């Protein structure tokens, strides 16, 4: 197959601040795999989860190094390519995995969700993200989202460098805004929070009950992820009994092995394709989560409609969709997933259902 790797910029309409810093623009990589007149598309890009950081530069170098070997293979059967992917980091593997899935779905003439037997009518509303900022800026961001879609699930970033008082002020302000909307329009909304590992255990424990009292339904990654798997599980275990709301692991959960070790201590996991290394592992994780009684969140980094269109293939397996990054871009080169009210749906076209709109 013919392989082509290129770079493209992604610029946010509204920069996103979380506990680890602010992102306004990124550069991502497009991998195109062409064979028999069909081109499969894959995307990857750098991101930072605290202990683990990937730069787009390093991912490009990883992919460029395997392209000659990849060119010697065909896109099917998938299994013949797998040994080549084992040595790659998960975000580099993601680009190849997505392009192979896209090629495969296009060859068979079906979207992946249909090939997997999923029901595209069984999709929950996606959340929209409010980054850290002043109360006024966060409320303004909420209004801007509501001008774009009738969002009923709001995810508020916490773990502010200004401390817990600021976190509490943001929760109160957003909860009141949701209540005002409920009173005026009769639309009930769900408030989730994501600390992105920004709290200590001493800070997190009293916050959990307080969040419940404010009507928050879910908290993501209260404590920083730990590289030692046992210590990381112990950190979640120390919160579990005091957590009256859904406790979800994000930065601590990359793959199926992480999901299995964390399962006794959490209510759900946030699956992201750049962490899992693409759809192969993500599908396993979503199916395993179902069997283990865990809720699945499906999230994103600063990703385009290509990565989110790929992730959208899994949405019928997801309790808490969180694929809003492409909705906040001014220069997305791709189109694919369809916004239907406050639900994001995968395209009905074959493969990932993603096309290049421009560039």
Conformational region of residue 196, where left means phi above 0, alpha means psi within -120 to 50, and beta covers everything else: left
Q: How far is CA 39 from CA 74, 78, 101, 179, in A?
A: 12, 15, 11, 48
Closest CB 335 distance from Mg ion, rounded Å: 25
Q: Which of 19-27, 36-44, 249-257, 324-332 is the region at the interface with Mg ion (rule: CB under 5 A)?
A: 249-257
Strands (E), 195-267: 216-220, 246-249
Q: By rule CB under 5 A, what count of residues binds Mg ion?
A: 3
The reply to whether 250 sits near Mg ion by the rule CB under 5 A is yes
Of 63 and 216, which has the nearer Cβ to Mg ion? 216
Could you tell me the smallest distance in angstroms from the CB atom of residue 299 to Mg ion? Answer: 6
Which is nearer to Mg ion, 164 or 297 (by Cβ)?
297
Whole-angstrom distance, CA of residue 259 vs CA of residue 129? 24
User: What kind and span of H or E run contains 335?
Assistant: strand 334-335
Cβ atoms 306, 354 nearer than 8 A: yes
Among the residue ranges 63-71, 108-116, 122-130, 189-197, the one whose residues contact Mg ion (CB under 5 A): 189-197
| Cα distance from N-terminal residue to C-terminal residue, the chain | 23
Phi-psi region of 277 (alpha: psi -120 to 50; beta: other; left: phi over 0): left
Answer yes or no whether residue 303 interacts with Mg ion by CB under 5 A.
no
Residue 162's alpha-carbon distances to 14, 165, 306, 312, in angstroms, are: 21, 8, 35, 35
Report 119-178 residues binding Mg ion (CB under 5 A).
Answer: none
267 binds Mg ion (CB under 5 A): no
Only one of the segments 24-32, 135-143, 150-158, 186-194 lies at the binding site for Mg ion (rule: CB under 5 A); that segment is 186-194
CB of 156 or CB of 306, closer to Mg ion: 156
- Residue 129 or 280: which CB sits closer to Mg ion? 129
Cis-peptide into 155, omega within 30 deg = no
Of 62 and 250, which has the nearer Cβ to Mg ion?
250
CB of 217 to Mg ion, least distance (A): 15
Alpha helices (runs of H) in 271-317, residue ranges in sequence order: 273-276, 279-292, 305-311
Shortest Cβ distance from residue 83 to Mg ion (Å)?
32
Only one of the segments 152-160, 187-195, 235-243, 335-343 lies at the binding site for Mg ion (rule: CB under 5 A); that segment is 187-195
Q: Mask 219-248, x = binds Mg ion (CB under 5 A)?
A: -x----------------------------
State in angstroms the smallest separation of the CB of 359 from Mg ion. 29
Could you list the residues that contact Mg ion (CB under 5 A)? 194, 220, 250
């Amino acid at each position: 197959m013919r392989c082509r790797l290129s770079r493209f910029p992604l610029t946010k309409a509204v920069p996103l601040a979380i506990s680890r810093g602010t992102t306004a623009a990124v550069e991502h990589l497009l991998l195109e795999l062409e064979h028999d007149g069909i081109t499969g598309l894959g995307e990857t890009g750098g991101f930072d989860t605290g202990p683990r950081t990937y730069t787009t530069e390093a991912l490009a170098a990883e992919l460029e190094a395997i392209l000659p070997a990849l060119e010697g293979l065909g896109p099917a059967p998938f299994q013949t390519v797998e040994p080549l992917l084992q040595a790659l980091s998960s975000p580099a593997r993601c680009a190849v995995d997505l392009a192979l899935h896209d090629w495969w779905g296009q060859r068979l003439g079906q979207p992946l969700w249909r090939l997997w037997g999923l029901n595209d009518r069984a999709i929950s509303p996606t959340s929209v993200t409010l980054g850290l900022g002043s109360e006024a800026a966060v409320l303004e961001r909420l209004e801007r989202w509501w001008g774009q879609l009738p969002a009923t699930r709001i995810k508020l970033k916490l773990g502010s460098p200004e401390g817990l008082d600021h976190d509490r002020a943001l929760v109160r302000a957003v909860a009141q805004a949701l209540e005002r909307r409920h009173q005026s329009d009769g639309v009930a909304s769900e408030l989730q929070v994501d600390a992105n590992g920004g709290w200590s255990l001493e800070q997190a424990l009293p916050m959990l009950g307080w969040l419940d009292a404010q009507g928050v339904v879910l908290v993501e990654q209260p404590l920083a992820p730990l590289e030692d798997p046992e210590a990381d599980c112990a950190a979640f275990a120390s919160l579990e009994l005091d957590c009256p709301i859904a406790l979800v692991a994000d930065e601590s959960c990359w793959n199926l092995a992480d999901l299995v070790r964390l399962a006794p201590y959490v209510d759900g996991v946030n699956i992201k394709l750049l962490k899992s290394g693409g759809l192969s592992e993500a599908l396993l994780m979503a199916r395993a989560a179902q069997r283990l009684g865990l809720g699945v969140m499906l999230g994103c980094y600063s990703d385009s409609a290509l990565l989110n269109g790929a992730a959208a293939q899994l949405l019928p397996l997801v309790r808490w969709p969180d694929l809003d990054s492409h909705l906040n871009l001014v220069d997305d080169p791709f189109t694919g997933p369809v916004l239907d009210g406050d639900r994001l749906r995968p395209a009905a076209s074959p493969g990932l259902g993603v096309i290049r709109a421009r560039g």
